[in-house]
């Protein structure tokens, strides 16, 4: 008697999103906002009215967050420890002459960097880490008119000393002003932050998805553009699997112009005009769908997991917040993230009782089609064997295989880089005492994480 052996392959990806960031390939400089973007980041003084658009820095007694702006600087553990990483700031001061800032009365500005592992919980606490708080590596005060339209070298990260992970940058503006500034993050071939950075300054081996790529994430900040009406900003945001809903927030868009949410499988339009789902544009001094400065947001039920894109189109001279999910960092450049595909075969369509089968399972990091390619970390493949087979052996050259009670668990030893693949072989024997035809369904699940 012959039995049919069928296989079902199930692929599940679980990307853990901790407060960290990731990278880009060599064509995507790690600069915030990205070079050529119409948008600026702006950090307002607490004395600026809520109508300016900076809920995060506005005092809590007025309904604001009473805190600071936070940006995460992700140094993956694949970064070579001997290569210094420079954090450079463009126009970090308030400066009347260049027209870059909006100044009523100038004051100092403060930038502070914190080591990896410092707690950052923007969803519930926009005031931590605090000035000079735990984890602080350096705090620098810039006096008005001290830097202007130049890059200043703010801090040098020595990975060998302070380690890999997510560094946190805090921005604060004193006086009565909106400070516009830019951020660059990478290595250099000289001490001058104002000439062109060397090639691959954010990706030392020059190859995408190898785990040495830097990236920048936004926890709390505001945006503005002064180019033309309207301009559109795309942010990338990860939606974790298994959530009943997610909520996206924006603040003080003054009713213009539009917000569009794109799920991973939606056809994407960077102008936000077609496809996706229409978001609610916030009015002045309020969050979207709210009548005041308390978040309400747009709720999306049963969201497709993966990388979403949010397009915000807004008129000139309108400062605003596009927060997405409150507790999830957002990226202006596509961050490096993996995508694994799994294939599986036993090479036969029918098998006899007592026959030995070899299940060959191969998975490949092909990227996810939305973000930049990135390595897959913590790869674990779980194969639940059918009831009518007995485990005999597992061959896994790049990791360890264990078997217990009909479940085979393969744990890969290292990350799987972009375009890399891995194969394991599981040998089983079909129950020799079977007397009737059965279908044998073998289900494998692949879990992995991105660099966040
Ligand atoms: Ca400035
Ligand atoms: Ca230089
Ligand atoms: Ca690389
Ligand atoms: Ca506004």
* % of the chain beyond a pLDDT of 90: 84
Residue 105: its pLDDT value, please?
95
Ligand in closest contact with the CA of 22: 3
Ligand in closest contact with the CA of 317: 4
CA of 91 to the centre of ligand 2 (A): 16
Residue 122: its pLDDT value, please?
66
Neighbours of ion ligand 1 (CB under 5 A): 91, 101, 179-181
Ligand in closest contact with the CA of 197: 2
φ and ψ at 110, to 5 degrees? -130, 130
What sign does the CA torsion over 407, 411, 417, 423 have? negative
* β-sheet bridge partners, residue 439: 4
In order of 72, 196, 215, 219, 363, the CA distances from 18 in angstroms are 11, 32, 14, 12, 24
Ligand in closest contact with the CA of 194: 2
SS3 assignment for 142-184: ECCCCCCCCEEEEEEECHHHHCCEEEEEEEEECCEEEEEEEEE
User: In angstroms, rounded to a whole number, what is the distance separating the alpha carbons of residues 15 and 447?
Assistant: 8
Average per-residue pLDDT for the chain:
91
pTM of the prediction?
0.89
CA of 326 to the centre of ligand 3 (A): 30
Domain residue ranges of the chain, discontinuous segments joined by +: 3-16+338-449, 31-336
CA of 320 to the centre of ligand 4 (A): 5
Ligand in closest contact with the CA of 281: 4
* Tens-digit pLDDT profile for residues 248-265: 999 999 999 999 999 999
User: In angstroms, rounded to a whole number, what is the distance separating the alpha carbons of residues 223 and 208?
Assistant: 29
* Tens-digit pLDDT profile for residues 88-133: 999 999 998 877 899 999 999 999 999 999 998 766 777 899 999 9
Ligand in closest contact with the CA of 223: 4
CA of 321 to the centre of ligand 4 (A): 8
* Tens-digit pLDDT profile for residues 339-374: 999 999 988 888 899 999 999 999 999 999 999 999
CA of 31 to the centre of ligand 2 (A): 14
CA of 223 to the centre of ligand 4 (A): 9
Ligand in closest contact with the CA of 43: 1
User: In angstroms, rounded to a whole number, what is the distance separating the alpha carbons of residues 231 and 186?
Assistant: 28
* % of the chain beyond a pLDDT of 70: 93
Determine the topology of domain 3-16+338-449 in CATH: Immunoglobulin-like (2.60.40)
Neighbours of ion ligand 2 (CB under 5 A): 188, 190, 192, 195
Residue 29: its pLDDT value, please?
59
Torsion of CA 18, 212, 90, 230, to 10 degrees: -70
Tokens of 57: 């820095």
Question: 282 burial class (0-12, 13-18, 19+ CB within 10 angstroms)?
Answer: buried
Give residue 217's pLDDT band: very low, low, confident or very high (50, 70, 90): very high
* Tens-digit pLDDT profile for residues 290-326: 999 999 999 999 999 999 999 999 999 999 999 999 9
User: In angstroms, rounded to a whole number, what is the distance separating the alpha carbons of residues 419 and 240?
Assistant: 23
Residue 3: its pLDDT value, please?
40
* β-sheet bridge partners, residue 231: 314
CA of 340 to the centre of ligand 3 (A): 18
Spatial CB neighbours of 413, under 8 Å, sequence gap ≥ 6: 398, 399, 400
Residue 9: its pLDDT value, please?
33
Please check whether residue 193 is in contact with residue 185, taking contact to mean a CB–CB distance below 8 angstroms.
no
φ and ψ at 61, to 5 degrees? -65, -20
CA of 211 to the centre of ligand 3 (A): 6
CA of 225 to the centre of ligand 1 (A): 14
Ligand in closest contact with the CA of 213: 3
Ligand in closest contact with the CA of 86: 2
Tokens of 437: 């035809």
φ and ψ at 60, to 5 degrees? -65, -30
Across 401-417, average pLDDT: 97
């Amino acid at each position: 008697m012959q039995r049919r052996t069928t296989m079902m392959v199930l692929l599940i990806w679980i990307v853990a999103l901790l407060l960290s960031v990731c990278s880009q390939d060599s064509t995507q400089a790690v600069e915030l906002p990205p070079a050529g973007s119409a948008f600026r980041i702006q950090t307002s003084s607490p004395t600026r009215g809520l109508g300016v658009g900076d809920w995060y820095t506005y005092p809590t007694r007025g309904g604001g967050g009473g805190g600071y702006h936070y940006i995460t600087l992700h140094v993956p553990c694949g970064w070579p420890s001997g290569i210094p990483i420079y954090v450079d700031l463009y126009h970090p001061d308030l400066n009347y002459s260049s027209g870059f800032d909006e100044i009523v009365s100038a004051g100092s500005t403060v930038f502070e960097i914190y080591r990896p592992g410092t707690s950052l919980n923007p969803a519930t606490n926009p005031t931590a880490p605090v000035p000079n708080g735990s984890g602080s590596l350096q705090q620098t005060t810039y006096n008005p008119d001290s830097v202007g339209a130049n890059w200043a070298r703010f801090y040098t990260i020595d990975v060998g000393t302070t380690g890999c992970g997510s560094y946190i940058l805090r921005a604060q503006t004193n006086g009565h002003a909106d400070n516009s500034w830019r951020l660059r993050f990478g290595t250099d071939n000289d001490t001058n932050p104002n000439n062109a950075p060397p090639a691959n300054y954010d990706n030392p081996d020059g190859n995408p998805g190898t785990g040495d790529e830097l990236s920048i994430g936004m926890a709390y900040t505001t945006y503005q553009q002064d180019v033309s009406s309207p301009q559109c900003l795309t942010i990338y945001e990860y939606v974790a699997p298994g959530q009943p809903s997610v909520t996206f927030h924006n603040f003080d868009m003054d009713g213009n112009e539009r917000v569009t949410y794109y799920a991973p499988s939606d056809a994407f339009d960077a102008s936000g005009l077609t496809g996706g789902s229409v978001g609610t544009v916030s009015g002045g001094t309020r969050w979207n769908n709210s009548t005041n400065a308390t978040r309400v947001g747009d709720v999306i039920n049963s969201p497709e997991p993966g990388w979403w894109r949010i397009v915000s189109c807004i008129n000139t001279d309108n400062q605003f917040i596009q927060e997405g999910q409150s507790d999830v960092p957002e990226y202006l450049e596509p961050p490096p993230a993996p995508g694994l595909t799994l294939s599986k075969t036993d090479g036969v369509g029918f098998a006899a009782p007592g026959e030995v089968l070899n299940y060959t399972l191969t998975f490949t990091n092909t990227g996810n089609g939305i973000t930049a390619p990135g390595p897959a970390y913590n790869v674990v493949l779980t194969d639940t064997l059918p009831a009518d087979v007995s485990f005999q052996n597992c061959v896994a050259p790049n990791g360890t295989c264990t078997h217990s009670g009909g479940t085979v668990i393969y744990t890969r030893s290292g990350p799987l880089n972009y375009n890399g693949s891995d194969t394991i072989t599981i040998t089983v024997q079909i129950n020799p005492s079977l007397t009737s035809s059965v279908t044998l369904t073998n289900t494998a699940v692949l879990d992995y994480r991105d660099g966040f």
